[in-house]
Amino acid sequence: MNSAAEARFRVQAPNSKPRAITVVALDADGERVVRDISSGGWQNARFFTSLSPDGTLIGIAGTNITLTDEVEASDLVVLVAGPGGRADLAPRIGEACSAKRVMTTGFVVGAAGVSDTELSKTLAQLRPWSLMVVIANNDEYIADMMAALRA
């Protein structure tokens, strides 16, 4: 946006329809961020810290559910991981989302000051399974996106 004339065309309000958002930590860095943002009083978001070998998502509030059931109830699944290539759960979750045509977004957190090699490892794991990948400069970016989607 370059001028005040162009600014009038910018959407000034969040989406009118709330989205059912699932947020899943893929590693320890992601878990830290997911735990932090989960306390935001969200109405339409559920937060998970891991996926068990049997396909159960482990919820922050003790709400465990199968991956398949959670994906079916979601409009968007957000995958959160730090640099270093520890996002091994991305393919399993991504395949479940692809099968149900549920949108996915990947966030790489804690990327400030890390090497391109470490960042690339995580990007390589997230990119095949995310319609959008964001390297978040700060943890608030995820919360801001969720607020815009009326989570």
Residue pair 122/88 in contact (Cβ under 8 Å)? The answer is no
Can you give the pTM of this predicted structure? 0.85
What pLDDT, on the 0 to 100 scale, is given for residue 13? 66
pLDDT, mean of residues 23-42: 93
pLDDT of residue 81: 96
CATH assignment of 17-148, among 3.30.450.20, 2.60.40.420, 3.40.50.1440, 3.10.690.10:
3.40.50.1440
* Mean pLDDT value of segment 67-74: 96
Domain ranges of the chain: 17-148
